[in-house]
């Protein structure tokens, strides 16, 4: 797309196409503003679309995604660029020059999502949608509600016979293996960084053995396991031996609230684990057993209702303890949790079928060089920019749950609009 | 109309042409669909195909287009023809991808495709392209009710964006609860120290902003009208009334603190036991010096009791957590420690809730020597020396701590006005003549915050615990009263940092609302929709069902007791259309006819052909996408179903069911979103209403000599692609057992 000819100082750039980025873009567009939404992966939806259910209503993320996609489809004020990352920003509030890098998808807009390229190819790649827990074909549609509804050819097969198979299979000639990375420069008036979060690397929490024990997983992997559209078809199975995991331990604050890892509290993990105890119930009924090892249960404000409901579930118990270390029973592969139950100071060494580490959220842009003007706090969350033309939204600005992320994105949208209003009146003056 | 020209375009791409005879479909579009232009193309969505359609629109005067190709949810960028009415027959996700492959199924597949073409043509002929409802003039001022942190933030942000604000505050000064604080919790790196509240600065900025008009000592006397044309009576305490006209409203009416007197077991009402607001007052008095209690004694030891009268599951006090109070107690403990590190400060908590970067503030307090004890206080006695008796959950023993002062962290109680659940029965009784009810209604009305003169009641609906919020997770501003947005603690318990973000978001939505109202555009979830309901009042029987059942209070009654539709308050769900027993309500592009004509366009085979017909009315928000995704996954379901997407199950008029049954359909399935406490329905009550209406249909079915099973109402989630396939196939099997409809051949 020739965005450089249509973006102006009256355009807002939203970086990140998860729920916060989509919201920021849509809200500004529905106020009549021109928006460019860039997303580095092939599809919109971000991490929330990969959740099975949201707390506290236990509803499905794709429900809200459908509404947002419908709003997007009917609003020509938003121009969407996927496979796109920001590489440089210069200028100042009201007048930025942004350089974007567009990675090749190797599939053009002619794609009708018929699936023939996928059928033709046999090479596989780890499935990003399922955090690599399973594989999918190297010519793929990321998921059932993928938007843009356009296939992707993984770079690993480009230039190989597999790539040629994909190309030959396409009935409309939409596979273009010659696609190159493109650089696009845009002029925009304001930027919203809705770059979201990533899970803290559980392997860094050495005593928990995530990298050594197969039956220690992260909350995000567990979420995929519980999802009927996930790698195990919704069955909660131990990665080690494929057996059902009925006795599940949840370790809260894994890598959070910790001077050695993430100093901040990631806010959502208590509610996420409480939610996941109900997945165990959904799978196993009264035969399931969930134990939540916690420091403080942060089911804040109205989420307290959900906590009270889970407390009444006889299959869920709570242990106030920061688990010291995890060992493994070599005979059956069961993880053994060692620690002290601080309510009464009793030491324990408890076996479970599976351990779920409620890992923290760290900003996705951690370690990425952002424009100098962007103000980051000590955990790399975006507080804003010195000249107040760039704003953080959603989990990029603070560890937030969905409701608060959307609230944050809506607010960021207004601040961006204020910037372009000001620059418009300056131009007119 | 002489000017209309109908065209049908059939795509043979994506394998459609290989499995389905497209020429036969073209014939149907011509002979039965009565289309003036019929074309097919092997790749309709590509540039050439789209150009072909655009050329016909420009040069052939085509006004209505039926596209028989993929689902309406696909290729929306390509099939974008904003100047004409468009229907989309789903031949790909709806036929090709879901009917079992192979020659054995050729016949039923062709019949299914043929019916969808008939339906697409029938539908588009009944559609008019909505022209919107552009107003000659529309008010773009925004009313903010409440001048606390949330209200002031909303006012400043709205003004900063270039819009006028009317700010109404009931007390004599702006600032609300925040103005009574000594300091606020930190909201920026390094999150170590309490900060100035910023209230004084905001008040000064408001005074210096010409776009903001402030009414102090004022409440709302009445709110009438709709977005773009609200007429507000601002009632001054003095008795005078000022009329203001605005386009949208932000309700930021905040909270009051839970009454400590309800906590006598925690010392409420006893000397030297205060709540957090009380502590702030003492801190302001001290102004950096030693904090003294009411009797003048310097406080040397203080205990903060968290969750006082909150997180209560016995039903006695507040069941929720107020979110800010742990952070507030930490802040208040540091008031003491900052002044004198030797003062004993103990925070007695059940769960220490300082999310996000608040963790650094918690560390800072610990470094200053604040003690944190996990314990549940069972008894507090006030007096010259207070005592807090508690169960120490770490040491697992009962203990008592003495203190000079005890601070109870009580909860936020929202100022949300009248609870409509309590209001509605009182109004019904009053309208029925009950004098006591009339008195009660008038008394309740005085407690209303907005004093809306809507038929549905004077305030925003409260859903849980008295907060004015619709409880959507993805859409916090999906308000139940169009153009009126709640912000701050009146919506959900929250701290100042959240409240300022919330108010900024609400400001944007209010601005969007005034811009939408000016051109007749719908708000979320049907954002951008220009259609709106009109009624043929000559046929109206004044049953009031539309008015009462509208989930958004968009319909009033006029002096002649006919429904008065307020387009600006409407969300375009069509629940009114579904409610109307005489079918006088419709939208330009969605009406009893657009769906009814589709139902009747289907060819229903005779009984001996053993090819049943099942109508599926699928809500477009969750059920229709689930069906599309079943197709994407190539799951097979019966070729005997005919799916029609509807805006909401609430918009389903029973005439569609009767039309289907009278035409000889063997069954009707209605698939919509979840209802109840954890509801998913984006129009709040639509799904619930459909279930309720269908529960009444049993008698009608009996009269027709039909089994109850012939009409099903189901709750479906968007992820239920496998389940909807099973539901359909199981239902077809069930109907097979029951036997064909006895009404075949009579339609």
Over 80: is that where the pLDDT of B570 sits?
yes
Mean pLDDT throughout B148-157?
98
d(CA A311, CA A292): 11
* Token digits of residue A66: 């459908």
> What are the residue ranges of helices labelled H in B190-250?
199-207
d(CA B676, CA B522): 25
* Token digits of residue B83: 């100047």
Q: How many CB pairs under 8 A join A and B?
A: 227
**Does residue B731 contact residue B669 with C-beta atoms inside 8 Å?**
yes
CB contact under 8 A, B357 and A381: yes
* Token digits of residue A145: 């509600």
DSSP for A236-279, written as a single string: -B-TTT--B--EEEEEEEETSS-TTS--SB-SSHHHHHHHHHHH
Q: Given this model, what pLDDT does residue B747 score?
A: 54
Q: Given this model, what pLDDT does residue A3 score?
A: 42
Instruction: Return the residue of B nearest to A379 by Cα.
Output: B357
In 3D space, the residue among A134, A342, A62 whose CA is nearest the CA of residue B718 turns out to be: A62
* Token digits of residue A210: 């995530």
Q: Given this model, what pLDDT does residue A2 score?
A: 41
**Does residue B344 contact residue A322 with C-beta atoms inside 8 Å?**
no
d(CA A25, CA B571): 21
d(CA B324, CA B302): 19
d(CA A66, CA B625): 8
> What are the residue ranges of helices labelled H in B60-215?
106-125, 149-160, 199-207
* Token digits of residue B541: 């029987």
Q: Given this model, what pLDDT does residue A428 score?
A: 54
Token look-up 């092939």 returns: A42
SS3 B425: helix
Q: Kindly give, in sequence order, each residue whose CB lies less than 8 Å from that of residue B535, ignoring residues fewer than 6 positions away.
A: B546, B562, B563, B565, B580, B584, B585
Mean pLDDT throughout B551-579?
94
Q: Kindly give, in sequence order, each residue whose CB lies less than 8 Å from that of residue A420, ignoring residues fewer than 6 positions away.
A: A9, A10, A11, A12, A33, A94, A189, A190
**Does residue A22 contact residue A394 with C-beta atoms inside 8 Å?**
no
* Token digits of residue A323: 């688990």
Asked if ipTM goes beyond 0.90, one says yes
Left (φ > 0), alpha (ψ -120 to 50) or beta: where does B271 sit? Answer: beta
Q: In which band, very low, low, confident or very high, does the pLDDT at B696 lie, cut at 50, 70 and 90? A: confident
Q: Given this model, what pLDDT does residue B695 score?
A: 86
Q: What would the pLDDT profile of B275-286 be if each residue is shown by its tens digit?
A: 999 999 999 999
Q: Given this model, what pLDDT does residue B512 score?
A: 96
Sort B440 into a burial class: Cβ within 10 Å, 0-12 / 13-18 / 19+.
Answer: middle
d(CA B196, CA B185): 9
CA dihedral angle for residue A278, residue A282, residue A284, residue A286, rounded to 10 degrees: 70
**Does residue A61 contact residue A51 with C-beta atoms inside 8 Å?**
yes
Where chain A has pLDDT below 50, the residues are 1-5, 429
Over 90: is that where the pLDDT of B362 sits?
yes
Left (φ > 0), alpha (ψ -120 to 50) or beta: where does B362 sit? Answer: alpha
Residues of chain B found within 8 Å of residue A59, distances taken between Cβ atoms: 473, 674, 678, 680, 717
**Does residue B148 contact residue B498 with C-beta atoms inside 8 Å?**
no
Q: Of A47-51, A368-372, B58-62, B423-427, which gets the smallest average pLDDT?
A: A368-372
- pTM to 2 decimals? 0.96
Q: Specify the pairing of strand B37-41 against strand B218-224.
A: unpaired
Instruction: Return the residue of B nearest to A375 by Cα.
Output: B189
Mean pLDDT throughout B193-214?
98
**Does residue B352 contact residue B328 with C-beta atoms inside 8 Å?**
no
**Does residue B720 contact residue B728 with C-beta atoms inside 8 Å?**
no
Mean pLDDT throughout B735-743?
92
d(CA A291, CA B683): 38
Strand B230-236: give its sheet, edge to edge: B218-224, B230-236, B241-246
Q: Given this model, what pLDDT does residue B2 score?
A: 53
Measured between CA atoms, how close is A187 to chain B, in angstroms?
21
Substitution target in B718, B720, B721 with the highest count of A β-carbons within 10 Å is B718
SS3 B114: helix
Which of the 8 DSSP states describes residue A164? H
Q: Given this model, what pLDDT does residue A4 score?
A: 44
d(CA A60, CA A51): 8
Q: What would the pLDDT profile of B482-515 be if each residue is shown by its tens digit?
A: 999 999 999 999 999 999 999 999 999 999 999 9
Q: Kindly give, in sequence order, each residue whose CB lies less than 8 Å from that of residue B393, ignoring residues fewer than 6 positions away.
A: A320, A343, B350, B374, B375, B376
Q: What would the pLDDT profile of B698-726 be if each residue is shown by its tens digit?
A: 888 888 889 999 999 999 999 999 999 99
CB contact under 8 A, B473 and A64: yes
Number of Cβ within a 10 Å radius of residue A248: 27
**Does residue A269 contact residue A359 with C-beta atoms inside 8 Å?**
yes
d(CA B626, CA A60): 12
Measured between CA atoms, how close is A59 to chain B, in angstroms?
7
Percentage, residues of chain B above pLDDT 70: 99
- How far is C-alpha B149 from the geometric centre of its chain's CA atoms? 24
Substitution target in B11, B188, B351 with the highest count of A β-carbons within 10 Å is B351
B479 reaches A (C-beta below 8 A): no
d(CA A325, CA A336): 8
Q: What would the pLDDT profile of B30-51 be if each residue is shown by its tens digit?
A: 999 999 999 999 999 999 999 9
Substitution target in A302, A305, A406 with the highest count of B β-carbons within 10 Å is A302
Half-sphere exposure of B122 (CA within 13 A, CB side): 22
B633 reaches A (C-beta below 8 A): yes
In 3D space, the residue among A82, A220, A199 whose CA is nearest the CA of residue A146 turns out to be: A82
Q: Which residues pair with A19 in a beta bridge?
A: none
B501 reaches A (C-beta below 8 A): yes
State which H helix or E strand residue B215 sits in: strand B212-215
* Token digits of residue B129: 């392209």
Backbone angles phi, psi at B65, to 5 degrees: -125, 130
């Amino acid at each position: 797309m020739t965005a450089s000819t249509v973006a102006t100082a009256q355009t807002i750039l939203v970086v990140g196409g998860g729920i916060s980025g989509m919201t920021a873009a849509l809200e500004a567009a529905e106020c009549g503003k021109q928006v460019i939404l860039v997303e580095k992966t092939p599809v919109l939806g971000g991490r929330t679309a990969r959740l099975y259910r949201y707390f506290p209503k236990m509803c499905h993320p794709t429900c809200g995604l459908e509404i947002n996609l419908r709003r997007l489809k009917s609003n020509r004020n938003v121009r969407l660029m996927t496979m796109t990352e920001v590489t440089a920003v210069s200028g100042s509030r009201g007048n930025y020059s942004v350089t974007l890098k567009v990675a090749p998808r190797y599939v053009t807009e002619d794609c009708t999502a018929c699936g023939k390229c996928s059928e033709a190819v046999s090479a596989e790649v780890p499935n990003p949608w399922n955090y690599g827990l399973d594989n999918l074909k190297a010519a793929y549609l990321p998921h059932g509600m993928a938007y843009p509804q356009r296939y992707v050819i993984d770079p690993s097969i480009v230039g190989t016979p597999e790539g040629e198979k994909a190309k030959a299979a396409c009935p409309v000639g939409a596979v273009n293996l010659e696609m190159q990375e493109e650089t696009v420069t845009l002029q925009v008036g304001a930027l919203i960084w809705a770059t979201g979060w990533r899970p803290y690397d559980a392997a860094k929490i050495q005593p928990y053995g995530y990298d050594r024990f197969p039956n220690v997983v992260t909350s995000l992997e567990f979420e995929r396991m519980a999802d009927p559209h996930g790698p195990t078809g919704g069955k909660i199975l131990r990665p080690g031996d494929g057996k059902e995991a009925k006795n599940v331990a949840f370790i809260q604050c894994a890598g959070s609230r910790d001077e050695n890892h993430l100093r901040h509290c990631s806010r959502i993990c208590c509610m996420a684990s409480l939610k996941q105890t109900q997945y165990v119930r959904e799978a196993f009924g009264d035969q399931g057993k969930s134990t939540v090892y916690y420091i403080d249960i942060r089911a804040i404000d109205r989420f307290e209702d959900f906590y009270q409901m889970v407390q009444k579930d006889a299959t869920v118990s709570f242990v106030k303890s920061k688990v010291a270390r995890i060992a493994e029973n070599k005979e059956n592969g069961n993880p053994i949790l060692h620690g002290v139950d601080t309510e009464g100071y009793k030491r324990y060494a408890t076996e479970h079928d599976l351990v779920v580490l409620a890992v923290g959220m760290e900003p996705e842009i951690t370690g990425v060089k952002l424009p100098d003007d962007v103000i980051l706090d000590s955990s790399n969350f975006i507080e804003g920019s010195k000249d107040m033309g760039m704003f953080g939204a959603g989990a990029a600005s603070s560890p937030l749950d969905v409701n608060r992320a959307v609230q944050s994105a809506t607010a960021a949208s207004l601040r961006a609009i204020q910037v372009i209003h000001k620059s418009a009146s300056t131009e007119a003056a | 109309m002489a000017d209309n020209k109908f065209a049908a375009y059939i795509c043979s791409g994506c394998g459609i042409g290989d499995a389905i005879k497209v020429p036969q479909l073209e014939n149907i579009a011509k002979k039965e669909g009565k289309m003036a232009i019929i074309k097919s193309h092997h790749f309709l969505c590509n540039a050439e195909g789209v150009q072909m359609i655009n050329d016909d629109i420009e040069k052939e005067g085509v006004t209505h287009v039926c596209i028989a190709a993929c689902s309406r949810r696909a290729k929306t960028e390509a099939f974008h023809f904003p100047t004409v009415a468009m229907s989309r027959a789903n031949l790909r996700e709806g036929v090709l991808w879901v009917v079992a492959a192979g020659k054995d199924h050729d016949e039923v597949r062709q019949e299914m495709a043929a019916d969808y073409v008939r339906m697409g043509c029938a539908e588009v002929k009944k559609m008019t392209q909505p022209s919107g409802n552009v107003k000659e003039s529309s008010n773009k001022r925004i009313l903010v009710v409440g001048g606390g942190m949330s209200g002031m933030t909303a006012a400043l942000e709205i003004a900063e964006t270039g819009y006028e604000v009317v700010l109404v505050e009931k007390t004599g000064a702006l600032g609300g609860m925040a103005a009574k604080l000594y300091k606020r919790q930190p909201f920026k790196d390094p999150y170590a120290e309490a900060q100035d509240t910023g209230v004084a600065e905001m008040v000064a900025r408001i005074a210096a902003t010409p776009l903001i008009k402030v009414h102090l000592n004022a409440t709302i006397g009445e709110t009438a009208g709709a977005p773009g044309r609200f007429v507000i009576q601002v009632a001054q305490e003095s008795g005078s009334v000022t009329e203001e006209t605005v386009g949208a409203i932000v309700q930021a009416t905040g909270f009051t603190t839970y009454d400590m007197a309800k906590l006598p077991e925690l010392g409420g009402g006893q000397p030297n036991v205060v709540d957090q607001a009380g502590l702030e007052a003492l801190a302001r008095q001290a102004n950096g010096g030693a904090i003294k209690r009411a009797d003048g004694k310097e406080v040397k030891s203080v205990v903060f009791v968290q969750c006082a009268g909150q997180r209560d599951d016995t039903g006695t006090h507040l069941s929720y957590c107020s979110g800010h109070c742990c952070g507030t107690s930490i802040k208040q403990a540091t008031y003491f420690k900052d002044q004198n590190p030797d003062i004993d400060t103990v925070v007695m908590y059940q769960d220490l809730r300082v999310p996000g970067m608040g963790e650094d503030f918690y560390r800072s307090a610990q470094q200053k020597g604040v003690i944190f004890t996990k314990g549940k206080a069972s008894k507090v006695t006030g007096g010259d020396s207070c005592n807090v008796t508690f169960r120490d959950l770490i040491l697992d023993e009962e203990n008592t701590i003495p203190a000079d002062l005890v601070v109870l962290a009580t909860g936020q109680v929202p100022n949300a006005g009248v609870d409509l659940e309590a209001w509605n029965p009182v109004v019904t009784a009053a309208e029925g003549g009950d004098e006591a009810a009339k008195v009660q209604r008038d008394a309740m009305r005085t407690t209303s915050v907005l004093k809306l003169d809507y038929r549905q009641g004077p305030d925003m609906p409260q859903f849980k615990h008295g907060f004015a919020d619709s409880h959507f997770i993805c859409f916090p501003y999906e308000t139940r009263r169009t153009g009126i947005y709640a912000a701050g603690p009146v919506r959900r318990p929250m701290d100042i940092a959240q409240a300022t973000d919330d108010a900024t978001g609400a400001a944007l939505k209010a601005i969007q609302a005034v811009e939408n109202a000016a051109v007749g555009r719908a708000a979320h979830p049907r954002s951008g929709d220009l259609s709106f309901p009109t009624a043929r009042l000559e046929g109206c029987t004044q049953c009031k069902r539309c008015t009462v059942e509208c989930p958004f209070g968009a319909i009033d009654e006029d002096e002649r007791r006919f429904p008065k539709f307020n387009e600006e308050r409407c969300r375009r769900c069509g629940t009114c259309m579904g409610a109307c027993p005489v079918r006088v309500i419709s939208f330009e592009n969605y009406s009893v006819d657009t769906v009814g004509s589709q139902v009747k366009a289907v060819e229903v085979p005779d009984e001996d052909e053993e090819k049943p017909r099942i109508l599926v009315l699928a809500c477009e928000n969750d059920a229709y996408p689930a069906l599309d995704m079943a197709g994407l996954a190539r799951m097979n379901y019966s070729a005997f179903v005919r799916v029609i997407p509807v805006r909401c199950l609430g918009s389903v008029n029973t005439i569609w069911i009767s039309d289907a049954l009278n035409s000889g359909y063997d069954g009707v399935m209605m698939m919509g979103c979840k209802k109840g406490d954890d509801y998913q329905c984006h129009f709040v009550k639509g799904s619930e209403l459909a279930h309720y209406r269908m529960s009444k249909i049993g008698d009608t079915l009996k009269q027709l000599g039909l089994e109850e099973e012939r009409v099903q109402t189901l709750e479906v989630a968007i992820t239920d692609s496998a389940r909807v396939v099973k539901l359909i196939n199981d239902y077809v099997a069930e109907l097979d057992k029951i036997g064909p409809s006895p009404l075949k051949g009579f339609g």
